[in-house]
Amino acid sequence: MKAVVVYESLWGNTAAIARAIAEGIGSQTRALSTGEAVGEAMAGVDLVVAGAPLIGFRLPADGMRRSIERDPKHAGRPPDLASPSMRAWLAALPKGSGHAAAFETRLKWSPGSATGAIAKGLARLGYRRISQDRRFLVTGTYGPLAAGELERAKAWGAELARLAEGG
Ligand SMILES: Cc1cc2nc3c(=O)[nH]c(=O)nc-3n(C[C@H](O)[C@H](O)[C@H](O)COP(=O)(O)O)c2cc1C
């Protein structure tokens, strides 16, 4: 089974969860940034798991990413914008027929969701949803991840692998 975990991550929390999910799926599975998950990396994928942070109550748009970069409030914690947004990645992704699942990292009590837009984007391309969306929690605005979230992510990865393999 070819599985790929794809992430958008401005401060590293979603990337860490993506790596834990990939580890749970199996040793051949890699977590790739939206910049890396293109072309051959996505060809014939049986399972795509895609995740992003919840920013401003939604999946970040490119304008939101730019305004965070410019906002002096975040100067001490500059976002990593080297890879495209999840929205841009979804817009450029070719049609597929594998299974899909979506996740987000976020604070516990916030309204809104990033996974809705990710799941919808993947479904529009033909991917078949294999699991409920998952939320992984941070304890502060820039992180860190809450205790136990990496273990929970790894366990979800193992569950997704079992589902995708039909067992
Ligand atoms: C500018 C900014 C806006 C945020 N907005 C929200 C929000 O609306 N809801 C929420 O639950 N968390 C919010 N967060 C927290 C992030 O979702 C959380 O830190 C996430 O794990 C970041 O993921 P990343 O490190 O992969 O970029 C915000 C954080 C920042 C810095």
Q: What is the pLDDT of residue 60?
A: 97
For 104-121, the pLDDT digits (tens) are 999 999 999 999 999 999
Give the number of residues written for the chain: 167
Q: Are 84 and 34 in contact (CB under 8 A)?
A: yes
Span from the CA of 141 to the centroid of ligand 1 (angstroms): 6
For 7-24, the pLDDT digits (tens) are 999 999 999 999 999 999
Whose C-alpha lies nearest to ligand 1, atom 21?
105
Q: Are 68 and 10 in contact (CB under 8 A)?
A: yes
For 108-163, the pLDDT digits (tens) are 999 999 999 999 999 999 999 999 999 999 999 999 999 999 999 999 999 999 99
Is residue 156 exposed (0-12), middle (13-18) or buried (19+ Cβ within 10 Å)? buried
| pTM score of the predicted model | 0.98
Residue with tokens 């992003």: 52
Kindly list the structural domains of the chain, giving each domain's residue range(s) and its CATH number in brackets, ordered by start.
Answer: 3-164 (3.40.50.360)
Residue with tokens 């999946």: 59
pLDDT at 167 over 60: no
Question: Measured between alpha carbons, how far apart are the two ends of the chain, in Å?
Answer: 13
Q: Are 61 and 52 in contact (CB under 8 A)?
A: no
Residues with CB under 6 A from ligand 1: 9-15, 53-57, 68, 105-107, 110, 112, 138, 141-143
Whose C-alpha lies nearest to ligand 1, atom 30?
141
Q: Smallest Cα–Cα separation from 162: which of 97, 95, 96, 99?
A: 99
